[in-house]
Structure 1
Amino acid sequence: MATPADPYTFLPEVPAFTVTSTDVEDGKTLPAPHTSGAFGVPGGEDRSPQLSWSGFPEGTKSFAVTVYDPDAPTASGFWHWAAFDIPVSVTSLDAGAGDQGGANLPAGAVQLKNDGGFAGYIGAAPPEGHGPHRYFVVVHAVDVESLGVPADATPAFLGFNLFGHTLGRATITPVFEQ
């Protein structure tokens, strides 16, 4: 099976900035708490990882955070998390910020339904034996304070709106397989 390309290579190139995490590392296995207990992964807690970012482009007015698996056995990948309208004054999110209901997100931020069907973060749960999956954890620097995306929109619709408003992107890509 061919591995899909980095999904961001198909979008206009924008400057990179830095995202770090005390929970996940680029190219390393996703720790158990960030996998999906809802989908039966042992030790899974469906807890979004801690994230901190810096060096974003001048003119940034808000941020969006997405987690996407392009290796899911679907024609559209799998969206694990999508949050946006995060104020520019916020440059980190604690682990668990993506809990259902969004109570741990900063005021004004909006969280969309993931492909598991609820608004919040759902952890990794690739099919057993399907091989390693990549989880693109991306912080998007946005040129407007609010994207005006409705709370009942899909992550793909958010991505469409980010297309014309992204000033920069910071990425960590952990992996996981069962």
Structure 2
Amino acid sequence: MSMRRRLVLGISLAMGLASGLAAGQAHAGMWLSSPDLAADGTLTAPQAWDRDGCGGKNLSPALRWGGEAPTTKSFALIIMDADVKKGFRHWMVFNIPAGVHSLAAGAGAADGKALPKGAVQALNDFGPKGYGGPCPPPGQTHRYVFTIYALNKDTLDLNPDQPAGALESLVLTHALDKGRLLAKSPRFEAPEKTTEKAKPADEKPAPKAEPATSGPKPAPGEIPK
């Protein structure tokens, strides 16, 4: 092989490698993170379920994401308990606009007022719409998979009252890419309720009863026998 041909081939390989690196930097894959997790990736008490014996505040964590394909038209978010057989969906949000890359803490409230315009929440597997926090059985710690999907449609034609499994299948049909976050959570027990009734502030203590005597009381001036 001539020196000239080797030089041309070397330049071509270098250009191809540079092009591949540039493409990799342009779309390295989706990511998802939360500033509300503890340092070890654990959800905190405010994010836990607030019923069924669990003592959280049911506050959805703040989320951030990026790295989606340039052809993305909308996002969908699903949170699943990975340690429940067949899965247990804690939060499902659809039709998040493509220009949105974060959800504020508490955005999963049932009224949906803190969600981006156009976003829709579905029923979680507890029953109501919106976010349902972790509530594993006593003594257990479960893993929770947060997945943000980049979709090829601006809006999904869905009924938010449909079963969660059917909605998840619709998301997967239109998914271009996804980013995942794995968190864990123990059970945060609700504080025990006290059954003792508090006395009214103005209630006076009951008078002490006089000790009983075995015989009649002595008359005034009489010395007791």
Q: Normalising to structure 2: TM-score of the pair?
A: 0.67
Matched, 1:24 2:37: yes
Q: 1:70 aligned to 74, 82, 87, which one?
A: 82
Q: Map of 1:45-60 to 2, 5 A cutoff?
A: 45-60=57-72
Change (3 A) 1:25 1:144: farther
Change (3 A) 1:168 1:26: farther
- The residue aligned with 1:95 is 105
Deviation, 1:25, is 6.1
Deviation, 1:119, is 0.5
CA contact 1:68–1:137 (8 Å) conserved in 2: yes
Deviation, 1:160, is 0.5
Letter in 2 for 1:116: F
Change (3 A) 1:26 1:17: farther
Deviation, 1:27, is 6.0
Q: Deviations over 1:64-102 (max 9, x none)?
A: 011110212xx4221100000011111110001110121
Change (3 A) 1:68 1:25: farther
- The residue aligned with 2:215 is none
Task: Write the distance in 1 (CA, Å) between the matches of 2:87 and 2:39.
Answer: 19
- The residue aligned with 1:174 is 183
Q: 2:144 aligned to 129, 132, 135, which one?
A: 135
Matched, 1:83 2:93: yes
Task: Write the distance in 1 (CA, Å) between the matches of 2:39 and 2:183.
Answer: 5
CA contact 1:62–1:141 (8 Å) conserved in 2: yes
Largest Rg, 1 or 2: 2
CA contact 1:26–1:172 (8 Å) conserved in 2: no
Higher relative contact order (CA 8 A, sep 6+): 1
Letter in 2 for 1:17: M
Letter in 1 for 2:128: F
Change (3 A) 1:161 1:63: same
Q: Partner of 2:148: helix, strand, or coil? A: strand
CA contact 1:25–1:174 (8 Å) conserved in 2: no
Task: Write the distance in 1 (CA, Å) between the matches of 2:44 and 2:78.
Answer: 18
Q: Would you say how many aligned residue pairs link Structure 1 and Structure 2?
A: 160
Q: Deviations over 1:137-170 (max 9, x none)?
A: 1111111001111121122112101122111111
Q: Deviations over 1:25-62 (max 9, x none)?
A: 696221111111123323x1111110111111121000
Over aligned residues, Cα RMSD in angstroms? 1.7
Task: Write the distance in 2 (CA, Å) between the matches of 1:16 and 1:46.
Answer: 30
Matched, 1:155 2:164: yes
